Amino acid sequence: MASGSDGSWLGGLIDWTVSLMEVIGPVGAGIGIALENLFPPLPSEIILPLAGLTASRGSFTLAEALIWTTLGSIVGAFVLYGLGAWLGIVRLRRIAEWMPLMKGEDIDRTVAWFHRHGAKAVFFGRMLPLFRSFISIPAGITRMPLWQFGLLTAAGSAIWNTIFVLSGYFLGEAWPVVEQYAEILQYIVIVAIVVAVAWFLVVRIRALTAERRERAEDSPNGG
């Protein structure tokens, strides 16, 4: 097995994941992916191909790699679903009202959007970096039916996991080629998030500035 030791936290993670899979088999791959769901900086784009590579060397079967990594995804997703359910709409509204440039109505609009598009968001979100984890939280906040959330999470995770597990299984030591394309996708997602946040801030600041101007004009001492 190729070692990822390069003195970095990522190299240590690779070595730890490989050791886990070699010691306890495909269950280790499932644990690694469950942790990746809870801590998005952990790269599924590395853990999954390593599971495929380990399977190709006979430590366990390809089917076991696919099943356990998908189970790990589901477990991690349900933990975050529970976090969202615990937070709830009321708590989130309070947090939003406390935060600068945020309003409780922002939460209401987000929840309304999720009620309309939640099924598609959960399914396709499982195949996008970062969103893979975060999409489970609004699902819990809105109390999406557990059976529906579980099925959508399983389906989306199975597609994503299969792509990367198979890349490790068939490409062997050349699996980092797929990781490079996954990194490009991740950068695109990050840029899209940054642009969306920047646009939100610009619109909100303009709206607040306009409100203050109108209040100043309407006040007895205004103008």
Burial of 211 (0-12, 13-18, 19+ CB in 10 A): exposed
For 33-53, the pLDDT digits (tens) are 898 888 866 777 788 888 888
**Contact between residue 25 and residue 59 where contact means Cβ atoms under 8 Å apart:** yes
Q: CA 9, 11, 13, 19 torsion: positive or negative? A: negative
Residue 176 confidence (pLDDT): 67
Residue 45 confidence (pLDDT): 79
Residue 200 confidence (pLDDT): 67
Residue 211 confidence (pLDDT): 67
Distance CA(74)–CA(154), nearest Å, equals 6
Rounded to the nearest 10 degrees, how much is the dihedral formed by the CA atoms of 21, 22, 25, 26?
30
Residue 60 confidence (pLDDT): 87
Residue 186 confidence (pLDDT): 67
Residue 86 confidence (pLDDT): 93
For 169-213, the pLDDT digits (tens) are 888 766 666 666 666 666 776 787 788 778 767 776 776 677 677
Residue 166 confidence (pLDDT): 92
Residue 69 confidence (pLDDT): 93
**Contact between residue 92 and residue 141 where contact means Cβ atoms under 8 Å apart:** yes
Listing DSSP states for the chain in one string gives -----SSSHHHHHHHHHHHHHHHHTHHHHHHHHHHHHHSTTS-HHHHHHHHHHHHHTTSS-HHHHHHHHHHHHHHHHHHHHHHHHHHHHHHHHHHHHHSTT--HHHHHHHHHHHHHHHHHHHHHHTTSTTHHHHTHHHHHHTT--HHHHHHHHHHHHHHHHHHHHHHHHHHGGGTHHHHHHHHHHHHHHHHHHHHHHHHHHHHHHHHHHHHHHHHHHHSTT--
List the chain residues with pLDDT less than 50.
1-6, 223
* 180-185 contacts, C-beta under 8 A, 24 or more apart: 182/45, 182/129, 183/45, 185/128, 185/129
Instruction: Tell which residue, 12, 84, 74, 97, has the closest CA to residue 46.
Output: 12
Distance CA(124)–CA(127), nearest Å, equals 5
